[in-house]
Structure 1
Amino acid sequence: MTDTSLIAPSEPSGPISLRTLILIRWVAIVGQALTILIVHYGLGFGLPVVPALAVVASSALLNLVLIVLRHWSARLGERDAALYLGYDTLQLAVLLFLTGGLHNPFAILMLAPVTVAATILSRQAVIALSALAIAAISVLALWHMPLPWRAEPLVFPPELVLGIWIALVLATLFIGGYIWSVAQGARRLRDAMAATQLALAREQRVSAVGALAAAAAHELGSPLGTIAVVAKELVRELPEGSPYAEDAALLLSQSERCRKILAELAHHSEEDGGSPYTQLPISALIEAAALPHRDQGVRLILATAGEPAGEEPLVRRSPEIMHGLTNLIQNAVQFAAREVNITTFWDAATVTIEIGDDGPGFPLHLLGRLGEPYLSTRAGVTDHMGLGIFIAQTLLERSGARLAFDNLIDGGAHVAISWNRANLETVERPRPSTPATPWRRERAVNLGWRPRG
């Protein structure tokens, strides 16, 4: 038993704000210009000021061109954003070439475009920009203008330059890879939470439609009854040869047809659990969650057990609980060989639902990671993306549940969902004063209750 998916994960990159990239570049332009002026005029180091400021001015000019040609709030695709950051890498490399190459302590800023790319672009774009940065670092290690100095130019040992090169290359690879993996995890979690919200909204709409149908059937019952009474009176009192007799009979038959339609609406609403605010026994809630999967070639066995003096808990038909249980039951049915057992236990303190199947069970290497988004053993075969268990666990935990996943000794997967009864139950009921005898009962989903033999 494993999870199913609702949506495929989005690409790690999406529309990227041009405004954000332009602001980042303005910060870099101001910092570069101030650094050149302070080092040259304030500290007295002889920099090639004109070429260096020309390089900085080229970035400022490009920013102005982008602001004029493209709207300030425009969104860039991945290709445009990658080219934008690629230009920043080359601009910084040219500036470092003019000011000492890897001898310049500001050479560490070569990591900045890669870091920005890792947070917003796809893996391919990050790899390409990392390769460009490493190539630029390698060129700067071999060819560059001397580092400006007040007296004789400093001579850096080749071993020191090699160490700086290795450090920058490793930093580029590590920071780019690590930040991309963290950002990708955040994006995947965001998409999974969006799928959870979508599933919850869908379940809430289903519940609302059922409640609306029940309310409509109730409200229309009285006027329809009045119409039926009047129609019966007309049919009885009109003579046989009256030109209105046929119309009265038609009115009576159609009112009867409307009555049957309303009765069916009310019946379907009850099967679905009715209003999301309706209180119902926990066994009825589980049966409603299992109902969509009863005709899939797998036998569903529903069993309940409680304390000798314990009444069955009454719970609200929460969309979170309904969708979470439905997802877990669906997974069990998909992987079961012949049957799925759903057993409910309760006592004065807790309510527990256990779902077990006779399938292959959870893969041992995934057992400790169940509940993570996009975790599925069927992703490459049936296009399942692995959101089912994540959505079920997220929704059930919102209701205060705790989930545990393991494998049965005889084979098959097993899921235990437990609640604090005081938090789950919607009403307080007096306990019977006389003890009852212990009991246990079970049923197939479409059969009546029968004792366990």
Structure 2
Amino acid sequence: MSEPAILPTTPAEAPAEANAGRRNMALLIQLRWLAVGGQLATIGIVSGPMGIAISRAPLLAAIAVLIAINVASLALLRRGRAVTNAELTAVLLFDVAALGWQLHHSGGLANPFASLFLLQVVIGAILLTPASSWAIVVAALAAVGVLAVEPTPLILPPPYAADPMGLYLKGSLVCFLLIAVLLVAFVTRISRNLRDRDAALAASRQRAAEEDHIVRMGLLASGAAHELGTPLSTLSVLIGDWQGAPELARTKELQDDLADMDAAVRRCKTIVSGILMSAGEARGEAPQLTTMRAFLTALVEESRGGRTPGTVEFNDLFGADVAIVSDPALRQVIGNVMDNASEVSPDWIGVTATRDGAMAVIEISDRGPGFSAEMITRFGQPYSSTKGRPGGGLGLFLLVNVLRKFGGSASVANRDAGGAVVRIMLPLSAVVAEGEKA
């Protein structure tokens, strides 16, 4: 006689607690199927080759109840929601009751398989809360107490009647082996489920902390953008006045410098406007409809501005173009990566755009010093930088978190030819325009 159970795995996208609870319920379902098979085999052997008379009707009725519990548990899993501690406790209590019923009709405590209560107690201690675990212990003790009250005795045929203790010891050995194997096989899987749950919870907490950090940085950036708007406008007016001043108009070198200053101020104003738009403070701004090729080309052209011609190489291997909705945050984080690459490798950076199925793949390469082993290990964490500047190391952190919201990812590596490469994987379905096919 045996008991509780498993089934396949649960959806990976479910929350950590729900995922662990569903896997544990699946584990109980599988174990219960093994119990049903073992009980049927035991009934067949005992009443067949061994020739021991047993009441098969109540034993088979208990097996039918276990099958019904499994069917109900499978229906519970198919609902797709979390499996609660109360539901796990309920099915384990049914298992204790079913085992007690079977033992009552097959010798009671004289049946060596009475030790299977221990397996249910151990599983309850691992899967359930402390209060529920003690409820399983109390239920098992109550079942043992009931078994001591007028159980149906086993009538042993002559070959076994002469040495009932020998038969009991052999049955106890089989029961011990059964408990040992099931504990090793299934308790280790339960422990793995719990470890996976703890790891997923830790990852969720880390992600929540990172997102909170991003929110605080966004508020800071939005406030700074508001404050920078006025001085930038003042600078723009002053530069315009200087450019029109007669005494300065005759000096070409000064006019060139003023033009560069004006371009720099305009770029700063564009950056500030982008920050405010990303923060939701730009009024009347509709999402910009463009194409993936135009989006990437604009990023490259912006990176080329103010740099020596030929230092930014763009390899367009994307293939068939697709209409997308341009996202300011995505444009900003990719632009940051290109700026960082230009900073460490002013003579050359390479931007390669390819397509891998439904994913857009953007690789940004440079000929700089590359990433250290520590940087690669800490990739995506805030303030992880080789530049040594206070507050540095946020570019890749923001890249990872923005891509995560789109369902994408990023990775970094060092190039064999020297330098580094940042690889961006962006699902086209997350940015494709409505009505378009990715």
**Higher RCO structure, 1 or 2 (CA under 8 Å, sep 6+):** 1
Range into which the TM-score falls when normalised by the shorter chain: 0.3 to 0.5
TM-score by length of 1: 0.39
TM-score by length of 2: 0.40
